[in-house]
């Protein structure tokens, strides 16, 4: 009879994604594929956290159980940053984004917060979709944690214009103000301004990014059909469904992409932070796309 070696449980590092809702998350499939590709002994799971102030309790519990890190999704990215400010350190991208989507739990109990959303978005747009952001006019819809996470990398990609638009105009103005504190826009070729949705009638954009969660509820954003320039790329950070934003963009002749590529690319950056190895994203992206069909 052949004896099979079973690796002890304590030799397998544990990771998770924390959010609410969370059942739809593809992150476990992605990180399992990364682990298999790179030979890493680890597990990865979904964890639902309560939205009534229970996020910190969940993270403390995971640390106590020996988890090595987590990804953080809607609506806890601001809370993740606050947690790290109290319990550890904050890396530059998370500090500048004022939000965190990745936490690393160190051996001494300290927590390191990072934000890989912006790199994931820009990598997907420029490398996978082959869209050059330089000198383009960009419309960013929303000013929540997802938007803050991508602002600095977007500026570093050197578009000529970034317009931030939000249902609550004051939040869009705050985003521009915070961005000006993060990046010295006076030394940049990028102009960044806030606009109300009803101020977009006379503007067109080469790249439109929807960072809002309206796709989860099939809500329609009140943006005019005239915002789509010729050869416009309309990018929705949501994935796994045709959102009203994507449908509107298709009707107006735009190239349309969902956020699955961003999800895989930001996951690769988080995986590198945790494991010190950068996985090949293309086969993983192809695998997730095939499973979705």
The residue extents of the domains of the chain are 9-115+262-292, 118-258
CATH class of 118-258: alpha beta
Q: What is the mean pLDDT of residues 11-16?
A: 93
- pLDDT of 5 over the 50 cut: no
Count of CB atoms within 10 A of residue 283's CB? 11
Residue that is written with structure tokens 């301004």 in the block: 193
Q: What is the mean pLDDT of residues 63-67?
A: 96
Least confident of 133-142, 209-218, 224-233: 209-218
C-alpha to C-alpha distance for 41 and 176, rounded to whole angstroms: 42
Q: What is the mean pLDDT of residues 210-217?
A: 87
C-alpha to C-alpha distance for 140 and 211, rounded to whole angstroms: 7
Peptide bond preceding 26: is omega within 30 degrees of 0, i.e. cis? no
Q: Which two tokens stand for residue 197?
A: 């949705």
Do the two domains 9-115+262-292 and 118-258 of this chain adopt the same fold?
yes
CATH number of 9-115+262-292: 3.40.50.10860
Residues 175/164, Cβ–Cβ less than 8 Å? yes
Q: How sure is the predictor about 139, in pLDDT bands with cuts at 50, 70 and 90?
A: very high
Q: Is 145 annotated as a binding residue?
A: yes
Residue (of 183, 182, 189, 208) closest to 197 by Cα position: 208
| Entry pTM | 0.88
Q: Is 171 annotated as a binding residue?
A: yes
218-258 pLDDT tens trace: 889 999 999 999 999 999 999 888 999 999 999 999 999 99
Residues 263/30, Cβ–Cβ less than 8 Å? yes
Q: Is 143 annotated as a binding residue?
A: yes
Q: Is 168 annotated as a binding residue?
A: yes
C-alpha to C-alpha distance for 196 and 209, rounded to whole angstroms: 15
C-alpha to C-alpha distance for 73 and 80, rounded to whole angstroms: 9
C-alpha to C-alpha distance for 15 and 42, rounded to whole angstroms: 7
Instruction: Describe the crossing of helices 145-156 and 169-182 by its angle, rounded to 10 degrees.
Output: 40
Active site residues: 77
Q: Is 219 annotated as a binding residue?
A: no
Question: Percentage of residues in the chain with pLDDT exceeding 70?
Answer: 95
For 58, 62, 63, 111, 264, the CA distances from 108, given in Å and listed in that order, are: 19, 14, 11, 9, 29
């Amino acid at each position: 009879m052949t004896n099979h070696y079973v690796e002890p449980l304590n030799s397998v590092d544990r990771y998770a994604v924390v959010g609410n809702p969370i059942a739809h998350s593809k992150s476990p499939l992605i990180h399992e594929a990364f682990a298999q590709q790179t030979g890493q002994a680890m597990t990865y799971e979904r964890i639902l956290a309560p939205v009534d102030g229970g996020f910190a309790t969940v993270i403390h519990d995971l640390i106590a159980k020996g988890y090595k890190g987590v990804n953080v999704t809607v609506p806890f990215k601001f809370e993740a940053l606050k947690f790290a400010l109290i319990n550890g350190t904050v890396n530059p991208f998370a500090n500048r984004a004022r939000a965190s989507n990745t936490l690393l739990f160190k051996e001494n109990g300290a927590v390191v917060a990072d934000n890989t959303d912006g790199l994931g978005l820009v990598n997907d747009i420029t490398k996978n979709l082959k869209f050059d952001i330089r000198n383009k006019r960009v419309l960013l819809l929303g000013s929540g944690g997802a938007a803050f996470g991508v602002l600095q990398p977007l500026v570093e990609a050197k578009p000529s214009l970034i317009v931030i638009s939000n249902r609550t105009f004051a939040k869009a103005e705050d985003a521009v103000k915070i961005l000006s504190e993060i990046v010295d826009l006076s030394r940049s070729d990028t102009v960044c301004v806030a606009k109300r949705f009803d101020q977009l009638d006379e503007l067109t954009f080469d790249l439109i990014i929807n960072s809002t969660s309206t796709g989860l509820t099939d809500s329609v954003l009140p943006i005019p059909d005239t915002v789509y320039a010729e050869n416009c790329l309309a990018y929705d950070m949501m994935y796994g469904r045709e959102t009203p934003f994507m449908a509107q963009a298709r009707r107006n002749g735009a190239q349309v992409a969902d956020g699955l590529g961003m999800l895989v690319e930001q996951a690769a950056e988080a995986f590198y932070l945790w494991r010190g190895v950068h996985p090949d994203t293309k086969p993983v992206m192809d695998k997730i796309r095939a499973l979705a069909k």
